[in-house]
Structure 1
């Protein structure tokens, strides 16, 4: 009698995802400030370059800090194929899945409004777009496409979105900015739409918002790239080893980088417009970093070092909101102000930055020990 083939076991939680999410959030949890403070201790060309990487490109360009937002969205995309598979295995109805997706997306939009100052009750000038809002909307629409369509249709839809958005940017200028080029901050159609719909609710009241309505479209593709990746990783074919998956993802990252480099001369990499070249550049970085973390943590099982980042990644939304609501700098100064006062201002800045990170991390460590997580 032939032995029956064993049913593939359900995939375990990808610890690399938590670690990579934590690594991503680490930069906005104070590490970027620490890097800048350290660079001031030894000024020079390399220090200037490194400090610049801890900020955003003024318009066109691609600095490390420009990777943080799309990487977080990409990671959210990776998680969804696993989450959807679990729900379907439990027999959850499609209608309930859609409801949960929409609820999560709108909850992130609401948290974005809270982050922007909802409780100031200044509704006349409250900024409506937000980082969390874009993550919520882009992920929500990408998730609904994932539920509804097969991979070939989704690839075609992603291509249509990028081509259509790119052509719109390239050839349609803002009607209210005569003489300004369509790819400039004053002349792009993205800003014009936001100025028309919500003129008093944009970032800094400058007439342009980097998280505006139209540029959410290519952000959906960023989330879709993450879902393509998650779909690939969770495939049950036993003949595809973890090492081979990591290698294929690295090759995919290289391909995305080539696409970004080819598009950049035609339509520059620009985070604020979320241009197609930016989608590919950020996708290359995100996929490459995930391939690296996946190989080290989930394939090679070298995990001990990653605990520091996992603690952050498991409560990423928590620390993002806490830094907005709570004066963490006050706590850091309370504990580390005395030590900092004994040194020069440059060294004191390093101590305060390290203390800020320490306070944030210990809070997240405490929450992790108590199994307290803010889940949306």
Structure 2
């Protein structure tokens, strides 16, 4: 009688290799089913947005601009060459606002694509925060003034302009930079050329309005004085002279916001370049292009005044070139050096640093609260100022304040706490 195998055991005619092959086929089938299920789930969830890219050079540049802002705000009152130029001209403080706008463009280029709701929400928060700070809803320590004077609060401002430039940068990226072929060099150059062309168009349109637009009564066409210029005239019509930085003009006014889109477009383009981790040769080319732009802007200044308040074409091109060169230098490896680390800490908590440094009464209160015997003549703030000339006092005060905020931002960085809006 022939032998019958048990039903629970494989037939003895199967070899061990046959069993291995069967198991491999089962595993492959299971893996295929798993991959199919994963693809179906991804399809049902919709396309995922690419994760934002963090470029150290951009963070460091943001921190440097923030530090310059603090230095020129405090020391500019006693050192004229550090503070803003009275009208025409270019001083150290006049690079701060273009630096802000340029970094906004670069950051938009590196970030994931935000939704329309997110853009509106962020812009609204920035505008409200700017009005709160300018309206003294965030009070000075030791001051009894607190509240928002609806009659005289300043409507335009730094954060308000940043909000507008952020929104413009997002839509410029969405409608121009992200449209078309970015996978090939030719397509990328074409898209970046469109972005820069939009920026150039904004400069030309703004300057045409400045030369041909309406002027206050009795002022000649195309006048560029503080009392007679189209930008100030439009701001007075829209805001009223009691809601402006100056009764005659506002450096963050409506019309002068138009050419800032050229600075945003430069930031968008340079952000894409540094995102690709450029080679040393490419960073050198970026620095060289920035120098050429700066020289072009300075040369244009012999025909068109360099003016920050009006954001004239010469000023826009000059400061844009400086920003491009600065980012190129930082992208060449300096941003990775130890000396740049404090600026990275500041740059990654920029909005917090902006609010803290603007409320400088807090730092004065901290210094004045530490004293030796006599709280009036023995406090740290008084001792620091004794025996020094006024510029030295202000510089010492500024460096101490900057050191405090660096320490705060360092602690937040170590705890991975980043304040955003």
What's the counterpart of residue 166 of structure 1? 207
Q: Which has the higher helix share?
A: 1
What's the counterpart of residue 331 of structure 1? 366
CA spacing shift, 1:177–1:198, aligned 2, 3 Å: farther
CA spacing shift, 1:77–1:187, aligned 2, 3 Å: same
Q: Which residue of 379, 396, 409 corresponds with 1:364?
A: 409
- CA drift of 1:144 comes to 0.5
When normalised by structure 2's length, the TM-score is 0.73
Correspondence 1:263 to 2:300: yes
Q: Which residue of 118, 122, 129 corresponds with 1:100?
A: 118
- CA drift of 1:29 comes to 2.9
- CA drift of 1:342 comes to 6.0
Correspondence 1:79 to 2:107: yes
Q: Which residue of 284, 288, 300 corresponds with 1:251?
A: 288
Matched-pair contact (CA < 8 Å) for 2:72–2:92: no
Bigger Cα displacement from structure 2, 216-225 vs 118-127: 118-127
What's the counterpart of residue 223 of structure 2? 182
Matched-pair contact (CA < 8 Å) for 1:173–1:187: no
Q: Which residue of 187, 200, 209 corresponds with 2:250?
A: 209
- CA drift of 1:35 comes to 8.9
Aligned pair count? 338
What's the counterpart of residue 418 of structure 2? 373
Structure with greater contact order relative to length (CA < 8 Å, sep ≥ 6): 1
What's the counterpart of residue 34 of structure 2? none
CA spacing shift, 1:235–1:294, aligned 2, 3 Å: closer
Structure-2 separation of matches of 1:341 and 1:275: 39
What's the counterpart of residue 229 of structure 1? 270
CA spacing shift, 1:269–1:338, aligned 2, 3 Å: closer
What's the counterpart of residue 93 of structure 1? none
- CA drift of 1:36 comes to 8.4
Gap runs ≥5 in structure 2? 1-49, 138-146, 178-190, 371-379
Once the two structures are superposed, residues 62-109 of structure 1 have per-residue CA deviations (whole angstroms, 9 ceiling, x without a partner) of: 11110011111101111212213xx4xxxxxxxx52332232223221
The structure number with the bigger radius of gyration is 2
Structure-2 separation of matches of 1:34 and 1:185: 24
Structure-1 separation of matches of 2:59 and 2:282: 19
- CA drift of 1:162 comes to 0.9
Matched-pair contact (CA < 8 Å) for 2:213–2:221: no
- CA drift of 1:208 comes to 1.2
What's the counterpart of residue 156 of structure 2? 129
Gap runs ≥5 in structure 1? 1-8, 38-50, 88-95
Pairing 1:1-376 to 2, within 5 Å after superposition = 13-30=54-71, 33=74, 51-84=79-112, 87=113, 97-117=115-135, 119=137, 120-150=147-177, 151=191, 152-179=193-220, 182-235=223-276, 241-297=278-334, 301=336, 303-325=337-359, 327-335=362-370, 336-337=380-381, 339-340=383-384, 343-344=387-388, 349-376=394-421
Structure-2 separation of matches of 1:209 and 1:31: 18
CA spacing shift, 1:368–1:199, aligned 2, 3 Å: same
Bigger Cα displacement from structure 2, 187-196 vs 362-371: 362-371
Structure-1 separation of matches of 2:227 and 2:151: 23
